[in-house]
Amino acid sequence: MAAATALSLSSSSNSPNFLQLRRFPRPEKGSRLPRAALVEAKPLPALRGGSSGGGSVNGEYTVQVVDAAAELSIRSRMDRAGDIQAEARAMTRAVNASVYSPELVAARYGSRPIRVLQRTVEILTAVGSFAFKLFLDKRQGLLDQRKRMRAAELRRIFTRLGPTFVKIGQGLSTRPDICPPEFLEELSELQDALPTFPDAEAFACIERELGLPLDSIYSTLSPSPIAAASLGQVYKAQLRLSGELVAVKVQRPGIEEAIGLDFYLLRGLGFLINKYVDFITSDVVALVDEFARRVYQELNYVQEGKNARRFKKLYADKADVLVPDIFWDYTSAKVLTMEWVDGVKLNQQEAIEKQGLKLLELVNIGIQCSLRQLLEYGYFHADPHPGNLLATPEGKLAFLDFGMMSETPEQARFAIIGHVVHLVNRDYEAMARDYYDLDFLSPDVDVSPIVPALRNFFDDVLNATVSELNFKTIVDGLGAVLYDYPFNVPAYYALILRSLTVLEGLALYADPNFKVLAASYPYFAKRLLTDPNPYLRDALIELLFKDGRFRQVLKQWNRLENLVVQGRKDKDFTAKDALQPVLKLLLDPEGEELRLLVVKESVYVAEAVVFGSMIDAFNSIPQPMRSLISNGNENGPLNLNNGERERILELRDRVFRIWSLLRSSDNFDPTLFEPILQVLQDPEARILGGRVVGGITQRFAARLLQQVLRSPVAVSTQ
């Protein structure tokens, strides 16, 4: 019998996420082909340059373009114009998409008490019975033996309760520090292995939303979904006109009714918590509303397409990040068509390593990209669970599912960077002041009582090195402080916490000892050293200078060296970026106080370099000559006591190490000094240089006088 070819989901354990071609029997004569059957179609001819003349294909004329560059320019403009028009058509199709409104939700379900009561009983019965079973297991000493059974039961409960609880399960599935391995494995199936809805309903939705029959849109379409998520399910298809492979996401029927009722109940619970639970100071209702708005945005697939385009524009410039493109002509509020991406989920370590890739490297790519999202442009992916992050065969990290996105306010971005640096350096006064910029506290709240609480917790935590810290430890510690003081956590911050905890969960899949803070600190150090933003410039100055002097000189040079060591681990770090902002800051009209401090420190450094060289030279000559030169003085010709000599040598060596680190940066280029020399031509710079030379001259004159008089009094290095 003849056969037609269609795409179906492979059951091969070696390729769990890929489709394979399979032969299906051809229907008997007179019967209709199934909707998923392959229909052969040739794509329309593309424009080609250099032809000898114009022509037509099926009545459509090609355009003769002799110059290749001109052809590319014309193509680019035509593509952009066509894409804008297609996006406008997609937005028109989504004009009636639902938007979250607490008032509308309350009006809709407030008048349906029986339905509300039924749903409440359904949730309490399911969750309560599960909790009671866990209690009995513990009492009977069978908790460990029944973990796998209870994990599967919890997955089924979340699945049965619907999309809202599925999202809760998805979050738990990325937290190996919270859930036992058995629960992680079961709940991970909630990411893209949920029960499907009938294909006939999905295909009817596509035709209804796009206003076209399937056969005119696709040349192939998988007969069943390749993945099912909380809000929809995904098919693999090939577009008829262009021949491109695409993923087609179709929304679940009745999804708005399901999530609307759950958010109505959660909002009611939030009111009760705000009113009666004193130790939770955040506005729970505001947090629920923020989360609900994000979920409702996920229901509008045109908005998700716009999110994907914006995300691609901001972050896909990195060679190791892949963001699929959107096909607007085949997208509506309930149907999303995007570029097909072959890949393996990040929690499938064995499959990734079989492709010759290293999971930890991919996780680091995700960390660096997420830091850029949160702290550079402020537009971030708020749902980065393993089902939304794929490792491609080429070693790229592909981001999928852009329904849940959020933004970090600009002031908060810089405050977060400063807050992490203040934390690592135990500057608790600065940490407390950061809460103003984070909008955690109103300006009229006195932060001085918060400082001891921060110190009591973090002094113990920071006895470990930075590499031993994890994000959960920090969140738990700050959470204890939040409960005791009048904090009001902004709603957007909940999504940041969710994104970061999920990210750390992904990292722990690769390595149970992996620490996100250690992996991300080079980025923070680089930003602090190179970013010209005034807030970060002030944070750097505050880190190094305090109370009008370079704090505990050697300790602060140690901090500076640590920042350079960590910052140069970031592949975007450049010595030029680290030097120029500081120079410009010194020449700022309002930088007089800083200039005084720098002049003083420059004198100490110059003295350390010169005297250190003299000490080295003195120590290199034979002992008899040393005694002759120093006239028997055990402190040498410079008349320095042991402590002062050690401080000078340590400062000299540390400065040299910092300079060596800058010079050994991968992208170090001597020409980077050209713009710096231009800056130094500024009159202010010449004045500053003169003050430094004058200070050095005075310092050396004092030292010379000391040598002449053989005074035992040491010159202060503070």
- As annotated, the active-site residues are 383
CA distance 43 to 246: 15
Contacts of 488 (CB under 8 A, 6+ apart): 281, 282, 283, 439, 440, 441, 442
- Tokens representing 463? 């006895």
Length of the chain: 718
Cα dihedral 146, 150, 151, 154 in deg (nearest 10)? 180
Closest CA to 543 of 419, 434, 425: 425
User: 294: phi > 0 → left, psi -120 to 50 → alpha, else beta; which?
Assistant: alpha
Reduce the DSSP state of residue 538 to 3 states and report it.
helix
DSSP conformational letter for 193: B
Beta strands in 385-506 (DSSP E): 389-391, 397-399, 405-407
Characterize 273-293 residue by residue with b for buried, 16 or more Cβ atoms within 10 angstroms of its Cβ, and e for exposed: beeeeeeebbbbbbbbbbbbb
Characterize 587-621 residue by residue with b for buried, 16 or more Cβ atoms within 10 angstroms of its Cβ, and e for exposed: beeebeebbebbbbbbbbbbbbebbbeebeeeeee
Do 305 and 328 form a contact (C-beta atoms < 8 A)? yes
Which residue type, as a one-letter code, is found at position 321?
V
DSSP conformational letter for 46: P
Do 149 and 361 form a contact (C-beta atoms < 8 A)? no
Beta strands in 485-621 (DSSP E): 545-546, 549-550
CA distance 76 to 70: 10
DSSP 652-671: HHHHHHHHHHHHTSTT--GG
Do 375 and 415 form a contact (C-beta atoms < 8 A)? no
Closest CA to 259 of 118, 403, 168, 162: 162
Do 347 and 386 form a contact (C-beta atoms < 8 A)? yes
